[in-house]
Structure 1
């Protein structure tokens, strides 16, 4: 019995419906119910024919073509669990994953996609997110997904073909966008950024929306023109594989020596540290965080103004602002 026989598809349909109910229970789809239909229709298991889970002796592979029925069913149940799945490793380093479905749903709803929008996804991953976008828009040609790794884009194409979806899959540096497919109305990144790539703004129509992980948060930007954009963070925490390619800044270590022990446990403070890394001393950051009442992610934002990009607390021109690369 193969991974995609009738019995497997029936079990997958039940598991997929349960996942959609789980996501829906938190009201995630309330602002755009069309996404509920996309998650109900697109089969995630076609995009994760295998994935890795932590085992006592290191990563263990779960595979849809395993010879034993119990192993195949374990793979399938895992494919529809509301958890991120490691799909590609190199020397123990995570290169690519399928994001947690509920987080994907929150991001896609927050992207505010409208019919007819041209969308660029940076970070092709398994191809699952591009398939959801193509289903939502009802037109494969409106969706472009890009990744630096040829192995990742090739496997994404195979998965998309298996699911009957054919968005444009491009191998290239996502930080440079995809000029030949521009202009875009929406850009969504599924990899962590250190700053906002200027090429993205230049490839967007005025009024376009960008949603990207930055400093363990999800930044939403509205593009004014090729040199200006501004927006705020969503309340949601987000942890993604870093963007690889041109302009990727290497993170600098941060010492928490001398800080109260409780500082290490405060997610909001750790977000501030990640956002201001290299520009604000950790002690000064903690003093600011306490003085301002422990601000959460949604009080922070980012402004792109020509050659300058900065993060800020509460107001772009307020007293608290920090340059980004």
Structure 2
């Protein structure tokens, strides 16, 4: 392919990316994901996701197929680009056939960023650097003067995130380390957002937050939004939406799922019941969880909450001091 053809191909992909990004933004807009903070619309329109996902994997019979932006076949390059701007999660890193990193569904990212409720000047810590795309969205919104820090345990992930961010023109601080320990040298933070699921809230996060800080993290197939009230203290409710993320590496093993014998199939297949099971794992057996779920009218996620107080952390239904409370650590 000659230089002229390369230029023409590059322009075609750039134009296609802009059109696909605009279509994605319209789709997220229609979903209401950033209704709590519509400024994110302009951010998603500006930040080019395709620079953060040079390749990804799609499930096919017998495994995964790699799609990448440098494919010699122009049709495959187009397919790669359209996939990047679909409102879908993308598998970005595999190890021995297992997914170890992904780029989250854009509408879920938009909803989480809106629920983070950032204000100008906020210092934000992101747990789980992924491709760097979420950090770029935050840096675009808050400015690039050191307000955004993102951390990941895997050097290959942080190195790739740094490269993607630089290619897109963003420079948040990228740290290689254990997200459960936070990043004390960059504290204090006004906001912490995690893009990986955890069994409980790491105490280090609370001690790196200013009073009034907001923490948004996946937990037990949901998203919990906590307000830090004082040193080592935080409380808040779950959001309405389900959320499934790769577990935090280094965050400790997930407890084994207890057998569901005796629980009716309609409950086993119900997303809200599975959320209650995940939240109370180790505290309630599935039959007790089912009895509670029926007795309380199959409660929505927003009725559940989480309290952290010093060494204690517990989930609850309706009231932190009420009859339904389950220790998380």
Asked if Structure 1 and Structure 2 have the same fold, meaning a TM-score greater than 0.5 normalized by the shorter chain, the answer is yes
Deviation at 1:92, TM superposition (A): 1.1
Match of 1:248 among 245, 252, 263: 252
Contact 2:125 2:193 in 1 (8 A): yes
Q: RMSD in angstroms over aligned alpha carbons?
A: 1.2
Deviation at 1:29, TM superposition (A): 2.4
Residues 299-325 of structure 1: per-residue CA shift (max 9 Å, x gap): 000000110000000000000000002
Counterparts of residues 260-299 of structure 1 (less than 5 Å): 260-299=264-303
Runs of 4+ in 1 over 4 A off after TM superposition: none
1:317 matched to 2:318? The reply is no
What's 1:152 paired with? 157
Residues 66-108 of structure 1: per-residue CA shift (max 9 Å, x gap): 0001000000000000000000000111110000000000000
- Judge which range, 64-73 or 249-258, deviates more: 249-258
Contact 2:305 2:316 in 1 (8 A): yes
In 1, the alpha carbon distance for the partners of 2:305 and 2:283 equals: 16
1:16 matched to 2:21? The reply is yes
Structure 2 length-normalised TM: 0.96
Match of 1:204 among 209, 213, 224: 209
Residues 174-227 of structure 1: per-residue CA shift (max 9 Å, x gap): 000000100000000000010000000000000000000000000000001221
Residues 36-95 of structure 1: per-residue CA shift (max 9 Å, x gap): 011000000000000000112310000000000100000000000000000000011111
Counterparts of residues 1-325 of structure 1 (less than 5 Å): 1=6, 5-245=10-250, 247-325=251-329
In 2, the alpha carbon distance for the partners of 1:242 and 1:31 equals: 27
Contact 1:140 1:165 in 2 (8 A): no
Q: Where does the alignment leave 5 or more consecutive residues of structure 1 unmatched?
A: none
Task: Check 1:88–1:136 CA distance in 2 against 1; reply closer, same or farther (3 A cut).
Answer: same
Deviation at 1:28, TM superposition (A): 2.2
Structure 1 length-normalised TM: 0.98
- Judge which range, 85-94 or 258-267, deviates more: 258-267
Q: Where does the alignment leave 5 or more consecutive residues of structure 2 unmatched?
A: 1-5
Task: Describe the SS at the equivalent of 1:38.
Answer: helix
Contact 2:33 2:108 in 1 (8 A): no
Residue correspondences, number: 324
In 2, the alpha carbon distance for the partners of 1:314 and 1:140 equals: 41
